[in-house]
Amino acid sequence: MSHDDHALPLKGSTYGPQYAGWTPTAVAMQGLGDRALLDQFIDVGDGVRLHADVYLPKGEGRYPAVVCFAGYSTEGHTAGLPTGTNEIGSPPVFTDRGYCPVVVERRGMGRSTGEQVVFFDPQDVDDHEKVIAWAAAQPWCNGDVVLFGTSYYGMVQPLVAARRPPALRAFFANELCTDFYRHLVAFGGVPGLIFLNLWMGANFTREKYDERMSEGRRALISHVTNGMLHPLLEKIVHKNVNRMFASFMSAMPVEAVRRMYVNWVFDGKTRETSTIPEGSTGVLGQIEVPFVAVQNLAHFNVHQFGTYDLFENAGTPDDQKWMIVGPAQYDLPVYEWQGEALAFFDHVLRGTDNGYARQPHVRYWVDGADEFGTASAFPPLDGTLTRLYLASAGEDEALHRLTPEPATASTNTWVAVPLGLPVIGGLDDVAVQSLGYEISFDRDIRLAGPVTANLRFSCNEIDSYVMARLSRIDAQGDRHHLSMGAIRPAAPTEDAARSTRNEIAIDSGRRIPLVPGEPVTLRFSLTPGPTHLKPGEKLRLDIASRSDLLRLDPSQGYGHYDLPVPPYLCRNTVHMGDCSWIEVTEVPLAAPSV
C-alpha cells in the first residue's frame, strides 16, 4: 500500500544525544522528505510471509535500505509512542538523508504469518537473512543494506551479520546482549524475573498481537509525541513509569510466550536446559562488515557486556569497527544516536568525508568530567590496574574504608532479607542490610575500564546473594552512580572460555551449596563506569544482598530491574585483609578527549 502524498506525514524526532563528542563536517544527502510503502509482505518460504512497513525519500530513486528486524508488533513504533520497544529510531530522520527504513515483524507477530518460535531462534536468523536479500532487490534500493536498532533490534544484528549476507554492508547496534543466557535470562546467577515479567507483559499480550493502527493515526500521534511536547511527555512518563510497569507486569502474555517464561524462570537452570538460544557470542569471529556498537551506562542487568564482547571478538578489521560507551540515558522511545548512525552509514556506503574515518575507535563518556574520553581499545591500552582493599572501621553500621594497601584481618556483616518479605520496624537500627566503603583522593584521577570485585565471603545459610555498587561522591556529598555487579555465592565458578577483558563470565549453572560459616572467594565483574574524580571527591563501594537497596530506576534515568534475591533470611560476612578488594583501571589524565 502506497502512502497518499496528501496524507499527514510522520513527524520525525532526534531527541536525545546524537553524536559522541563530535559534529560531522558533511552529509551526503539531506532534505529528501518521506513517503511510505505500508503493508509489504516478504516471502520467506514454507508459505510464511513477514509484514514490513517501508519508508522512502519522497522523490523517486534508489537508496540504501536500513533493515530493522522486530520481535514485536510495530504498529505504534513509528508514531513515537512511549513504549520500551520503540527502538528503531524515527523513519523520517533516515529518509530525509537518503535511506529507506524497512521495519519487519518476526514470524507469528503482528501481521506476519507463520508459527512463532522461541525468541532469537535460528529460524529468525534465516528469516532476517531473507529480508536483507529481499530489500536489496527492491526497485527503490541500490542493493546496499545496513542494520539499525536498539535492544532486540540490536541483539539480532550480530547473529545475521555472522551469516555474511551478500548485500549487508554495515550495522549499527545499540544496547545489545551477545550471550542471551547469562546477559538476559540468568543475570548474576538468578532468573531476570522482574524484567521478564515487564517485557513479556508489555509486549506479548493478545491485544499486542492483534493491534492495528491506521497510517493517519500514527502520523497524528507522531506530531504530538515528537513535537514540542516531547520533553514534557518524557517527564510525565518518567514520573509514572513505576505505575506503568506495574500494569505491564499484571498483564497476561499469549500462551506460547508464557511457556517460554516457564522454562526460563523455573526449568532452564543451566544453558543445556534453557530454551533460549546462546546468542552471537560464539560466532562473533565470523563477522566481517564494519559496525558501530553503543553501550548505555544506564543499564545494569540487561543490555550489559554484550557491546564489549562484540567489539573485542568480532572478526571485523580493527580499523572498521567503533564502540561508544554513552552517558546514562533512559528515554521512551529510543531516539539516541540516529545522527551518529547516519554519519557512519554515509562514511561506509557513500565515502563521505565527514570526519568519521578520523574518529577514535573507542569513545567513552566520563562521569565527573562530562566529556568523552578516547582510546583505540577498551579497556584503554595505557590503563593501569589499581587495587583497593576493603578495610573495617569497626561496627557494621560504620562507614568503612577502601585502602591501597592490604588491611588488617577483620570481618563485618550484613543481613539478607528476601525481596518482598516483611520485617519488624527498626530492623536497620540493630542489623544493617548493607555495608559501605569509601576512599578520598587528593589528586585528579580518571578511571575507565573493567571493574572487578574479589570478596572473601561466608554465610550462615547454604546460599545468599551479593550485589556491589560503585559510586562517585562529589564535594557536596551527592552520589553519582557508576557501576553495579552481582553474584550468587553458590554459583561462583568462572566460565573462562566466555570471559572477556571487561567481564568475568560466571557459569551460573554450576552450583555448589555453601557450608555455613565456611569462607569462599567470590570474584565477579561490575559494569564499567568511567569517571573523573577531583581532589576531595570519594569513590564509594556499597555491598548488599537485595537489588532494590542499591539500584536506581527509570524515573531517575536508569534501567535497573529488581532480581528475586536473596533466597534466604541469613547473615552474610565479608572477611577483610588481603583477600577482599576491588580493582579499577586508571588511565592517564593526558589521554585525549573530545
Q: 333 and 461 share a domain?
A: no
Q: Check which CATH number belongs to the domain holding 136 and give it.
A: 3.40.50.1820
Phi (first) and psi of residue 270, to 5 degrees: -135, 170
Residue 390 has pLDDT above 60, yes or no: yes
Q: Is the pLDDT of residue 593 over 50?
A: no
Range of the domain at 111: 35-359
CA atoms of 86 and 75, how far apart (whole Å): 10
Non-local (6+) Cβ contacts of 472 within 8 A are 367, 368, 479, 480, 482, 531, 533, 537, 538, 539, 540
Q: Which of 208-212, 342-346, 531-535 has the lowest mean pLDDT?
A: 208-212
Contact between residue 34 and residue 10 where contact means Cβ atoms under 8 Å apart: yes
DSSP string across 249-317: HTS-B-HHHHHHHHIIIII--STTT--S---STTTGGG--S-EEEEEETTBSSSS-SHHHHHHHH--S-
Sequence-separated (6 or more) residues with CB below 8 Å from residue 216: 7, 8
On whether both 354 and 390 belong to a single domain, the answer is no
In a domain, 413, yes or no: yes
Domain finish residue from 326, 359, 392: 359
How far apart, in Å, are the Cα atoms of 310 and each of 179, 197, 306, 442, 548?
10, 27, 6, 37, 30
pLDDT in tens, 129-142: 999 999 999 999 99
* Residue 557 pLDDT grade (very low, low, confident, very high; cuts 50, 70, 90): confident
Select the more confidently predicted residue: 211 or 50.
50
544-548 average pLDDT score: 96
Asked, for residue 338, whether it belongs to a domain, the answer is yes
Residues 392 and 479 in one domain: yes
Asked if 407 and 326 sit in the same domain, the reply is: no
Residue 379 within a domain? no
In this predicted structure, the answer to whether residue 470 has a pLDDT above a threshold of 70 is yes
Answer whether residue 17 is part of any domain. Answer: no
The Cα 538–Cα 533 span in angstroms is 7
275 and 411 in a common domain: no
In a domain, 259, yes or no: yes
Q: Name residue 63's beta-bridge partners.
A: 141
CA–CA distance, 107 with 70 (Å, rounded to integer) = 10
Q: How many domains does the chain have?
A: 2
Question: What confidence score (pLDDT) does residue 252 get?
Answer: 96
Residues 337 and 431 in one domain: no
Please check whether residues 181 and 318 belong to one and the same domain. Answer: yes
Percentage of residues in the chain having pLDDT higher than 90:
84
The residues, ordered by sequence, that sit 6+ positions from 454 with a Cβ below 8 Å of its Cβ are: 521, 522, 523, 579, 580, 581, 582, 583
CA–CA distances in Å: residue 322 to residues 33, 308, 342, 559:
29, 11, 14, 24
pLDDT at 313: 98
What's the mean pLDDT in 290-316?
Answer: 94
Q: Which three cell numbers stand for residue 590?
A: 593526558
- β-strand partners of 524: 453
CATH code, domain with 535: 2.60.120.260
Percentage of the chain surpassing pLDDT 70? 98
Q: At a CB cut-off of 8 Å and minimum separation 6, what does 501 contact?
A: 308, 312, 378, 379, 450
pLDDT of residue 9: 86
Q: What is the mean pLDDT of the chain?
A: 94
Q: Same structural domain for residues 327 and 396?
A: no
